[in-house]
A and B are shown apart, each in its own frame.
Chain A
Amino acid sequence: MADELDDLQYPAQETEQDIEEQALHPAKAVPARKPGWLARLGERISNQIARVGLPEWNLRSFLYGLGLLVAVILIARNWVDVRLDVLVWRFDVPKSVVIIAAILLGAGLVRAWDAYHSRRAARAAQSEEA
Protein backbone atom coordinates (compact mmCIF):
# COMPACT_ATOMS: atom_id res chain seq x y z
CA MET A 1 0.00 0.00 0.00
CA ALA A 2 2.79 2.38 0.87
CA ASP A 3 4.57 1.54 -2.41
CA GLU A 4 1.45 2.31 -4.39
CA LEU A 5 1.05 5.66 -2.67
CA ASP A 6 4.67 6.42 -3.46
CA ASP A 7 4.08 5.65 -7.16
CA LEU A 8 1.20 8.07 -7.27
CA GLN A 9 3.18 10.89 -5.67
CA TYR A 10 6.52 10.16 -7.30
CA PRO A 11 5.97 8.68 -10.77
CA ALA A 12 8.89 6.70 -12.20
CA GLN A 13 11.50 8.67 -14.10
CA GLU A 14 11.64 8.13 -17.82
CA THR A 15 14.65 6.06 -18.81
CA GLU A 16 16.64 6.54 -22.04
CA GLN A 17 15.04 3.38 -23.43
CA ASP A 18 11.58 4.84 -22.89
CA ILE A 19 12.63 8.01 -24.71
CA GLU A 20 13.97 5.98 -27.68
CA GLU A 21 10.78 3.95 -27.89
CA GLN A 22 8.68 7.09 -27.89
CA ALA A 23 10.81 8.49 -30.73
CA LEU A 24 10.04 5.39 -32.83
CA HIS A 25 6.27 5.91 -32.35
CA PRO A 26 5.68 9.65 -32.40
CA ALA A 27 2.37 10.94 -31.15
CA LYS A 28 -0.15 11.37 -33.92
CA ALA A 29 -1.82 14.72 -34.14
CA VAL A 30 -5.54 14.29 -34.53
CA PRO A 31 -7.85 17.03 -35.79
CA ALA A 32 -10.59 18.27 -33.53
CA ARG A 33 -13.31 17.37 -36.04
CA LYS A 34 -14.18 13.75 -36.73
CA PRO A 35 -13.48 12.90 -40.42
CA GLY A 36 -16.52 12.30 -42.61
CA TRP A 37 -17.49 8.96 -44.19
CA LEU A 38 -15.75 9.80 -47.45
CA ALA A 39 -12.48 10.57 -45.70
CA ARG A 40 -12.72 7.38 -43.65
CA LEU A 41 -13.40 5.35 -46.80
CA GLY A 42 -10.49 6.97 -48.61
CA GLU A 43 -8.19 6.27 -45.68
CA ARG A 44 -9.24 2.62 -45.60
CA ILE A 45 -8.65 2.21 -49.34
CA SER A 46 -5.27 3.93 -49.22
CA ASN A 47 -4.22 1.71 -46.29
CA GLN A 48 -5.09 -1.37 -48.34
CA ILE A 49 -3.22 -0.07 -51.37
CA ALA A 50 -0.19 0.79 -49.24
CA ARG A 51 -0.01 -2.86 -48.15
CA VAL A 52 0.45 -3.99 -51.76
CA GLY A 53 4.12 -4.43 -52.49
CA LEU A 54 5.48 -5.06 -55.99
CA PRO A 55 7.69 -8.13 -56.19
CA GLU A 56 11.34 -7.59 -56.67
CA TRP A 57 12.39 -8.12 -60.28
CA ASN A 58 15.26 -10.50 -59.79
CA LEU A 59 16.31 -13.49 -61.90
CA ARG A 60 13.81 -15.80 -60.24
CA SER A 61 10.79 -13.55 -60.76
CA PHE A 62 12.01 -12.79 -64.27
CA LEU A 63 12.01 -16.51 -65.12
CA TYR A 64 8.54 -16.95 -63.61
CA GLY A 65 7.27 -14.03 -65.68
CA LEU A 66 8.95 -15.39 -68.79
CA GLY A 67 7.30 -18.77 -68.30
CA LEU A 68 3.92 -17.12 -67.88
CA LEU A 69 4.43 -14.97 -70.97
CA VAL A 70 5.46 -17.99 -73.06
CA ALA A 71 2.39 -19.90 -71.86
CA VAL A 72 0.07 -17.01 -72.78
CA ILE A 73 1.67 -16.69 -76.22
CA LEU A 74 1.39 -20.44 -76.86
CA ILE A 75 -2.26 -20.43 -75.87
CA ALA A 76 -3.00 -17.44 -78.11
CA ARG A 77 -1.12 -18.83 -81.12
CA ASN A 78 -2.90 -22.16 -80.86
CA TRP A 79 -6.36 -20.69 -80.43
CA VAL A 80 -7.55 -22.18 -83.73
CA ASP A 81 -10.49 -24.51 -84.12
CA VAL A 82 -9.91 -28.22 -84.50
CA ARG A 83 -12.60 -30.73 -85.30
CA LEU A 84 -13.31 -33.43 -82.73
CA ASP A 85 -15.17 -36.59 -83.68
CA VAL A 86 -17.05 -38.09 -80.79
CA LEU A 87 -19.02 -41.10 -82.03
CA VAL A 88 -21.51 -39.52 -84.44
CA TRP A 89 -21.00 -35.94 -83.29
CA ARG A 90 -18.54 -33.50 -84.67
CA PHE A 91 -17.75 -30.15 -83.10
CA ASP A 92 -15.07 -27.53 -83.38
CA VAL A 93 -13.06 -26.60 -80.32
CA PRO A 94 -10.00 -24.33 -79.99
CA LYS A 95 -6.80 -26.37 -79.95
CA SER A 96 -5.55 -24.65 -76.78
CA VAL A 97 -8.67 -25.73 -74.91
CA VAL A 98 -8.13 -29.33 -76.03
CA ILE A 99 -4.50 -29.28 -74.88
CA ILE A 100 -5.34 -27.74 -71.50
CA ALA A 101 -8.22 -30.18 -71.01
CA ALA A 102 -5.91 -33.10 -71.82
CA ILE A 103 -3.31 -31.87 -69.33
CA LEU A 104 -5.92 -31.39 -66.61
CA LEU A 105 -7.43 -34.79 -67.31
CA GLY A 106 -4.04 -36.46 -67.12
CA ALA A 107 -3.13 -34.63 -63.93
CA GLY A 108 -6.50 -35.53 -62.41
CA LEU A 109 -6.07 -39.21 -63.24
CA VAL A 110 -2.56 -39.28 -61.78
CA ARG A 111 -3.79 -37.53 -58.65
CA ALA A 112 -6.69 -39.97 -58.25
CA TRP A 113 -4.37 -42.95 -58.81
CA ASP A 114 -1.92 -41.60 -56.25
CA ALA A 115 -4.70 -40.99 -53.70
CA TYR A 116 -6.08 -44.49 -54.24
CA HIS A 117 -2.66 -46.09 -53.67
CA SER A 118 -2.00 -43.97 -50.58
CA ARG A 119 -5.31 -45.03 -49.01
CA ARG A 120 -4.62 -48.64 -49.90
CA ALA A 121 -1.16 -48.49 -48.30
CA ALA A 122 -2.62 -46.84 -45.20
CA ARG A 123 -5.30 -49.56 -44.89
CA ALA A 124 -2.65 -52.29 -45.31
CA ALA A 125 -0.51 -50.69 -42.60
CA GLN A 126 -3.52 -50.48 -40.25
CA SER A 127 -4.43 -54.10 -40.82
CA GLU A 128 -0.82 -55.16 -40.09
CA GLU A 129 -0.83 -53.22 -36.84
CA ALA A 130 -4.11 -54.82 -35.86
Chain B
Amino acid sequence: MAYERQATYRRPSVIAMLAAVPYLLLSASQSVQLTTTINLDGSGLRQYTVSFDQARDPEVPKYLREATRGFDRPRRRKEAGRVVITRDWRPANLAKAVAAPDAAASLQITDIIQKPFDVFTEYHWSEQLEIYRETATPIETVGEEIATLSYKLNMPGKIVKTRPNADSFEEGAAVWELSANVDRYTLEATSRRLRWGYLLLLLYVVGFVVFQVVGYGTRLVRNRPRKI
Protein backbone atom coordinates (compact mmCIF):
# COMPACT_ATOMS: atom_id res chain seq x y z
CA MET B 1 0.00 0.00 0.00
CA ALA B 2 1.18 3.51 -0.64
CA TYR B 3 0.52 4.78 2.90
CA GLU B 4 1.99 3.68 6.23
CA ARG B 5 1.49 4.32 9.92
CA GLN B 6 4.37 5.28 12.16
CA ALA B 7 4.56 4.46 15.87
CA THR B 8 6.31 7.70 16.81
CA TYR B 9 5.06 11.18 16.18
CA ARG B 10 7.45 13.85 15.10
CA ARG B 11 7.25 17.35 13.83
CA PRO B 12 9.65 18.34 11.10
CA SER B 13 12.04 21.08 12.07
CA VAL B 14 11.03 23.05 9.03
CA ILE B 15 7.47 22.60 7.94
CA ALA B 16 7.56 22.08 4.20
CA MET B 17 4.94 24.17 2.50
CA LEU B 18 3.61 21.27 0.58
CA ALA B 19 3.80 18.46 3.06
CA ALA B 20 2.47 18.91 6.59
CA VAL B 21 -1.00 19.23 8.03
CA PRO B 22 -1.57 19.71 11.76
CA TYR B 23 -3.89 17.07 13.20
CA LEU B 24 -5.59 19.67 15.36
CA LEU B 25 -6.64 21.57 12.24
CA LEU B 26 -8.56 18.50 11.11
CA SER B 27 -10.05 17.70 14.50
CA ALA B 28 -11.19 21.25 15.25
CA SER B 29 -12.75 21.93 11.83
CA GLN B 30 -15.94 20.75 10.22
CA SER B 31 -14.19 20.21 6.92
CA VAL B 32 -10.73 20.76 5.50
CA GLN B 33 -10.03 20.62 1.80
CA LEU B 34 -6.58 20.86 0.27
CA THR B 35 -6.65 21.57 -3.46
CA THR B 36 -3.60 21.29 -5.68
CA THR B 37 -3.91 22.59 -9.22
CA ILE B 38 -1.14 21.99 -11.72
CA ASN B 39 -1.09 24.18 -14.83
CA LEU B 40 0.22 23.52 -18.33
CA ASP B 41 3.37 25.53 -17.85
CA GLY B 42 4.31 23.85 -14.56
CA SER B 43 2.97 26.60 -12.32
CA GLY B 44 0.40 25.71 -9.73
CA LEU B 45 -2.09 26.68 -7.08
CA ARG B 46 -2.15 25.30 -3.57
CA GLN B 47 -5.30 26.13 -1.65
CA TYR B 48 -6.67 25.31 1.77
CA THR B 49 -10.39 25.73 2.40
CA VAL B 50 -11.34 25.27 6.03
CA SER B 51 -14.82 25.41 7.45
CA PHE B 52 -15.34 25.57 11.22
CA ASP B 53 -17.77 26.65 13.89
CA GLN B 54 -17.65 30.33 14.77
CA ALA B 55 -16.87 29.45 18.41
CA ARG B 56 -13.52 27.98 17.29
CA ASP B 57 -12.49 31.20 15.59
CA PRO B 58 -9.17 32.05 17.25
CA GLU B 59 -8.05 28.42 17.43
CA VAL B 60 -8.54 27.08 13.91
CA PRO B 61 -6.93 30.03 12.09
CA LYS B 62 -3.83 29.48 14.24
CA TYR B 63 -3.55 25.86 13.10
CA LEU B 64 -4.19 26.91 9.53
CA ARG B 65 -1.34 29.43 9.72
CA GLU B 66 0.99 26.59 10.73
CA ALA B 67 0.03 24.60 7.66
CA THR B 68 0.16 27.56 5.27
CA ARG B 69 3.33 29.47 6.07
CA GLY B 70 4.33 31.61 3.13
CA PHE B 71 0.84 31.53 1.62
CA ASP B 72 -0.98 34.68 0.66
CA ARG B 73 -3.38 36.53 2.93
CA PRO B 74 -6.41 34.46 3.91
CA ARG B 75 -9.92 35.27 2.78
CA ARG B 76 -12.76 34.60 5.14
CA ARG B 77 -16.51 34.58 4.93
CA LYS B 78 -19.27 33.75 7.34
CA GLU B 79 -22.27 31.61 6.55
CA ALA B 80 -24.95 30.15 8.84
CA GLY B 81 -22.99 30.16 12.07
CA ARG B 82 -19.77 28.90 10.63
CA VAL B 83 -16.66 30.50 9.21
CA VAL B 84 -14.95 29.51 5.97
CA ILE B 85 -11.34 30.53 5.44
CA THR B 86 -9.46 30.12 2.19
CA ARG B 87 -5.73 30.56 1.92
CA ASP B 88 -3.69 29.88 -1.16
CA TRP B 89 -0.28 30.07 -2.74
CA ARG B 90 0.47 30.35 -6.43
CA PRO B 91 4.08 29.47 -7.27
CA ALA B 92 5.26 30.36 -10.76
CA ASN B 93 7.11 27.10 -11.06
CA LEU B 94 5.76 24.28 -8.93
CA ALA B 95 8.50 21.83 -9.91
CA LYS B 96 11.29 24.26 -9.11
CA ALA B 97 9.63 25.13 -5.79
CA VAL B 98 9.98 21.51 -4.70
CA ALA B 99 13.27 20.68 -6.40
CA ALA B 100 15.21 20.03 -3.17
CA PRO B 101 16.41 16.44 -2.73
CA ASP B 102 14.35 15.85 0.39
CA ALA B 103 11.33 17.67 -0.87
CA ALA B 104 7.97 16.20 -0.10
CA ALA B 105 6.54 16.68 -3.59
CA SER B 106 7.69 16.43 -7.19
CA LEU B 107 6.31 17.22 -10.61
CA GLN B 108 7.67 15.58 -13.74
CA ILE B 109 6.61 16.75 -17.16
CA THR B 110 7.37 14.58 -20.15
CA ASP B 111 7.10 17.01 -23.03
CA ILE B 112 8.11 17.08 -26.69
CA ILE B 113 11.80 17.36 -25.84
CA GLN B 114 11.80 14.11 -23.90
CA LYS B 115 9.45 12.25 -26.25
CA PRO B 116 9.29 14.02 -29.61
CA PHE B 117 7.12 11.44 -31.37
CA ASP B 118 4.46 11.01 -28.71
CA VAL B 119 1.17 12.85 -29.28
CA PHE B 120 0.61 13.22 -25.53
CA THR B 121 2.39 15.25 -22.88
CA GLU B 122 2.53 13.43 -19.57
CA TYR B 123 2.40 15.00 -16.12
CA HIS B 124 3.37 12.99 -13.07
CA TRP B 125 2.73 14.38 -9.60
CA SER B 126 3.92 12.76 -6.41
CA GLU B 127 3.51 14.08 -2.89
CA GLN B 128 4.15 12.89 0.64
CA LEU B 129 1.62 14.37 2.97
CA GLU B 130 2.26 14.23 6.68
CA ILE B 131 -0.31 14.69 9.44
CA TYR B 132 1.53 15.61 12.58
CA ARG B 133 0.16 15.51 16.10
CA GLU B 134 2.80 17.15 18.23
CA THR B 135 0.52 19.10 20.55
CA ALA B 136 -2.55 16.88 20.34
CA THR B 137 -3.56 15.15 23.57
CA PRO B 138 -4.62 11.48 23.66
CA ILE B 139 -8.20 12.61 24.21
CA GLU B 140 -8.08 14.74 21.09
CA THR B 141 -6.71 11.89 19.01
CA VAL B 142 -9.55 9.53 19.95
CA GLY B 143 -11.59 10.71 16.98
CA GLU B 144 -8.71 10.52 14.52
CA GLU B 145 -10.51 8.05 12.28
CA ILE B 146 -13.36 10.48 11.78
CA ALA B 147 -11.16 13.52 11.16
CA THR B 148 -10.52 13.62 7.43
CA LEU B 149 -8.67 15.75 4.95
CA SER B 150 -10.16 16.01 1.48
CA TYR B 151 -7.28 16.20 -0.99
CA LYS B 152 -8.26 17.34 -4.48
CA LEU B 153 -5.85 17.29 -7.39
CA ASN B 154 -6.36 19.07 -10.72
CA MET B 155 -3.96 18.24 -13.52
CA PRO B 156 -3.71 19.20 -17.19
CA GLY B 157 -5.51 16.84 -19.54
CA LYS B 158 -7.05 13.68 -18.20
CA ILE B 159 -5.88 11.87 -15.08
CA VAL B 160 -5.18 8.30 -16.16
CA LYS B 161 -3.56 6.81 -13.08
CA THR B 162 -3.71 7.45 -9.35
CA ARG B 163 -1.93 5.73 -6.50
CA PRO B 164 -3.62 4.89 -4.22
CA ASN B 165 -6.84 4.85 -6.23
CA ALA B 166 -8.73 8.09 -5.86
CA ASP B 167 -11.97 7.89 -3.92
CA SER B 168 -13.84 9.95 -6.51
CA PHE B 169 -13.45 12.27 -9.47
CA GLU B 170 -15.01 15.74 -9.52
CA GLU B 171 -15.00 17.47 -12.90
CA GLY B 172 -11.84 15.62 -13.90
CA ALA B 173 -10.05 16.21 -10.58
CA ALA B 174 -9.01 13.27 -8.41
CA VAL B 175 -10.23 13.38 -4.81
CA TRP B 176 -8.84 11.40 -1.91
CA GLU B 177 -10.51 11.33 1.51
CA LEU B 178 -7.55 10.95 3.86
CA SER B 179 -8.26 9.82 7.38
CA ALA B 180 -6.21 11.36 10.19
CA ASN B 181 -5.37 8.01 11.76
CA VAL B 182 -2.47 7.63 9.32
CA ASP B 183 0.64 9.76 9.77
CA ARG B 184 1.90 9.87 6.25
CA TYR B 185 0.34 9.47 2.82
CA THR B 186 2.15 9.15 -0.49
CA LEU B 187 -0.12 10.30 -3.28
CA GLU B 188 0.73 9.94 -6.94
CA ALA B 189 -1.14 10.78 -10.10
CA THR B 190 -0.41 10.74 -13.82
CA SER B 191 -2.26 12.68 -16.47
CA ARG B 192 -1.95 12.95 -20.23
CA ARG B 193 -2.77 15.85 -22.48
CA LEU B 194 -2.98 15.83 -26.26
CA ARG B 195 -0.37 18.04 -27.94
CA TRP B 196 -2.97 19.67 -30.12
CA GLY B 197 -0.78 22.68 -30.86
CA TYR B 198 1.96 20.59 -32.43
CA LEU B 199 -0.56 18.46 -34.29
CA LEU B 200 -2.14 21.58 -35.78
CA LEU B 201 1.25 22.89 -36.87
CA LEU B 202 2.17 19.56 -38.41
CA LEU B 203 -1.16 19.38 -40.22
CA TYR B 204 -0.73 22.90 -41.58
CA VAL B 205 2.81 22.28 -42.88
CA VAL B 206 1.94 18.90 -44.39
CA GLY B 207 -1.18 20.38 -45.92
CA PHE B 208 0.85 23.12 -47.59
CA VAL B 209 3.40 20.66 -48.95
CA VAL B 210 0.66 18.40 -50.34
CA PHE B 211 -1.11 21.40 -51.86
CA GLN B 212 2.06 22.54 -53.61
CA VAL B 213 2.90 19.05 -54.87
CA VAL B 214 -0.61 18.50 -56.23
CA GLY B 215 -0.59 21.93 -57.85
CA TYR B 216 2.78 21.26 -59.45
CA GLY B 217 1.62 17.91 -60.74
CA THR B 218 -1.57 19.42 -62.14
CA ARG B 219 0.37 22.14 -63.96
CA LEU B 220 2.79 19.56 -65.30
CA VAL B 221 -0.03 17.47 -66.75
CA ARG B 222 -1.85 20.50 -68.14
CA ASN B 223 1.24 21.88 -69.90
CA ARG B 224 2.32 18.55 -71.30
CA PRO B 225 2.73 18.80 -75.09
CA ARG B 226 -0.14 17.04 -76.81
CA LYS B 227 -0.02 15.02 -79.95
CA ILE B 228 -2.04 16.57 -82.73
Contacts and interface: CB of A to CB of B under 8 A. Distances in A.
B43 A82 contact: yes
Contacts of A77: 40-41, 197
Contacts of A124: none
Interface string A84-108: 0000001010010000000000000
A49 B211 CA distance: 24
- Interface size of B as a range: 10 to 19
A92 B72 CA distance: 12
B72 A57 contact: no
B90 interface: yes
B39 A66 contact: no
B72 A73 contact: no
Given A69-B201, A70-B201, A83-B90, A62 B40 contact: no
Interface string B40-79: 1101010000000000000000000000000011000000
A70 B204 CA distance: 11
A78 interface: yes
A57 B43 CA distance: 39
A65 interface: yes
B90 A92 contact: yes
Give the contact-size bracket for chain A. Answer: 10 to 19
A78 B92 CA distance: 12
A66 B208 CA distance: 10
Nearest to A76: B197
Interface in A43-69: 57, 62, 65-66, 69
A80 B39 contact: yes
A73 B208 CA distance: 19
A62 B201 CA distance: 12
B72 A80 contact: no
24 contacts: A57-B208, A62-B208, A65-B204, A66-B201, A66-B205, A69-B201, A69-B204, A70-B201, A73-B200, A77-B40, A77-B197, A78-B40, A78-B41, A80-B39, A80-B40, A80-B41, A80-B43, A81-B45, A81-B90, A82-B43, A83-B72, A90-B73, A92-B90, A95-B41
What are the 6 A-B residue pairs with the smallest beta carbon separation, nearest first?
A73-B197, A80-B39, A83-B90, A62-B208, A80-B41, A57-B211
Interface of B: 39-41, 43, 45, 72-73, 90, 92, 197, 200-201, 204-205, 208, 211
Interface of A: 57, 62, 65-66, 69-70, 73, 76-78, 80-83, 90, 92, 95
